[in-house]
Structure formats: C-alpha cells, structure tokens
Amino acid sequence: MDVIMGAEGTLNARIVKTWFEDQIGEPFENKFSAIGFLKDDKIQAAAIFNNYTGNNIDFHYYGPRITRGNYREIIDYVFNFLKCNRLTTIPHREHKKTLIILPRMGFMQEAILKYYYGVDDSKDGLVYVLTKDRALDWLKTKDK
C-alpha cells in the first residue's frame, strides 16, 4: 500500500485531513500531521497525529483495519522521524474492536478519563500508550 504524508499546511496533509473528517463526520481542529494509506490512488485509511510534546504524540486512526504495513509506517514516523518516546490514543469504552486490537499492537492501558466523550451520553475515554521499546519489540516479533 502506498502512503502520502504531510504536516499541517501541506497539500498532502489537507487531502488526508479532509478524507478523515468526511469519514468521522466532524472537523479536526487541532494542529496535526497525517499519513494517508492508499490503494489504487485512493485513500483507504488514515492516521492523524496531534498534541506533539516532543516525547509524546496523540494518534487517531480511521480505516477498515490497520495492516502490519500501515502500523510499521506509523511506528517509523512516530519513533524514528519524530523521535517520540510514546504514542497515545484515547478510544471510548464502546470501541470494543479497538480495545481488543490495541494490546495486540503493544499498547498498554494507562488511565481512564471519566466522561471524556460526548455531551449528553458522556463516555469514558481509555488512555492507551505505546512506548518506543514496546513498538520496537513488536516490530522484531512480527519480522520473524
């Protein structure tokens, strides 16, 4: 699968962000960078990154599933290019498939954010973190 990447302000980032927003049905307001995963020159999945601190960046993914190739691109971008030590994602409790997949990808649950999502039907956010050492371990075991 081919990829397009870009930081906020670039054409590639705007293309991926627009696709991502169309899929989730709401605007993404924060400063961001993006990776779009292409098949036949069409975006099939996207990773959006924001809240970069130097050591951490937040991660949002939309697509039918995350492939090993997509995950390798994400790991390479976060831990090799950005030099982060951790990657954070915050799904809500109702994302059952996500909560099954994240530990398989090396993520560890770190915290629960009470009433994090929603206004009327407040849902808890579950903070999952992937550290650099766990990401590199995942890559080693999957390359065998």
Say if CB 132 and CB 79 are below 8 A apart. yes
- Give the pTM: 0.87
pLDDT confidence band for 65 (50 / 70 / 90): confident
Instruction: Kindly list the domain boundaries of the chain, sorted by start residue.
Output: 2-142
CA nearest neighbour of 86 among 54, 125, 126, 111: 54
Say if CB 63 and CB 38 are below 8 A apart. no
What tokens were used for 106?
């090396």
**Mean pLDDT, to the nearest integer, of 36-64?**
93
**Mean pLDDT, to the nearest integer, of 27-52?**
90
Note the pLDDT tens digit of each residue in 128-143.
Answer: 999 999 998 888 876 6
Within 10 Å of residue 16's Cβ, how many Cβ atoms?
A: 27
For the segment(s) 2-142, the CATH number from 3.40.50.300, 3.30.10.20, 3.10.450.50, 3.40.630.30 is: 3.40.630.30
Q: What is the pLDDT of residue 95?
A: 86
